[in-house]
Amino acid sequence: MGRVDDKVALITGGASGIGRATAELMAREDAMVVLTDVQDEAGADVAATIADAGGMVAYHHHDVTDEAAWIKIIEEVRAEYGRLDILVNNAGISGASGVPVEEIALESWRGTMSVNLDGVFLGVKHGVAAMTEGGGSIINTSSILGFVCLPFTSAYSASKGGVRLLSKAVAMECAARGLKIRVNSVHPGFIDTPMVGGAIQKGGPERREAILSSQPTGEMGRPEDIAEGVLYLASDAAKFVTGSELVIDGGYLAR
């Protein structure tokens, strides 16, 4: 029996990186996985890979910045599978990272917030509504940059800091209302994902060397490292864990 056996999980940003690794792991642990993204070809490929391995999976196109799309996907999940047990708000973008603050266009700032923070808020809002009767676990992907900052990351850091405190606030609200809904945030460090890879590519070999030299372990993490933490928070093993921040960063914040 898997660690999330007989649970229904909705995972946003599931077409690549941490979202993909989480979807694959939860499927191996016997969850019914509904993965969503705006990258339809990649998302469908992930779903096919999971299905070929014997997992229970469905893929849906889903823009997390669109409230109507949130209402639609959760209604579809509940109609098809009867409930929603796990929600992983993972979709995110790097936005205006690498740009001096005085050069960030307001449109770019709002675009970063729309995906990274508004998208999580909408997921939490409609996820809590769907879980009010049966309970569940909501896991929001933040970042180590929700705790500390690097130069030229003002928009991204602000969005991830918002996710961190939104998660804690809703966790406390659910507890105060007597709802059996746990809300936690996950804070990856430098993980070898397409997003981090894109930042390294823009910065060149010096950027990669700077990242590696900043790591106590001397290496970046893998998406699977984060997926294991998300799985723990989603499972009944974490039934007493809410309002917490799970940092998975190879010791970066311990320096």
Q: Domain limits of the chain?
A: 8-191+223-248
Question: What's the token pair of residue 147?
Answer: 């705790």
Residue 81: active-site member: no
Angle made by CA atoms 188, 9, 60, in degrees to the nearest 5: 95
Closest CA to 164 of 244, 108, 88, 61: 244
Sheet of strand 56-61: strand arrangement: 56-61, 32-37, 8-12, 86-89, 136-141, 181-188, 245-248
Find all residues with CB under 8 Å of 5, minimum gap 6, and list them. Answer: 29, 30, 31
Fold classification of 8-191+223-248 (topology level): Rossmann fold (3.40.50)
Q: Per the confidence metrics, is the pTM higher than 0.85? A: yes
Q: Provide the pLDDT for residue 199.
A: 59
Q: Which of 59, 81, 156, 252 is catalytic?
A: 156
The H-or-E segment that residue 195 falls in is helix 194-203
Note the residue count of the chain: 255
SS3 84: coil
Residues of the chain with pLDDT under 70: 196-205
Q: Provide the pLDDT for residue 197.
A: 58
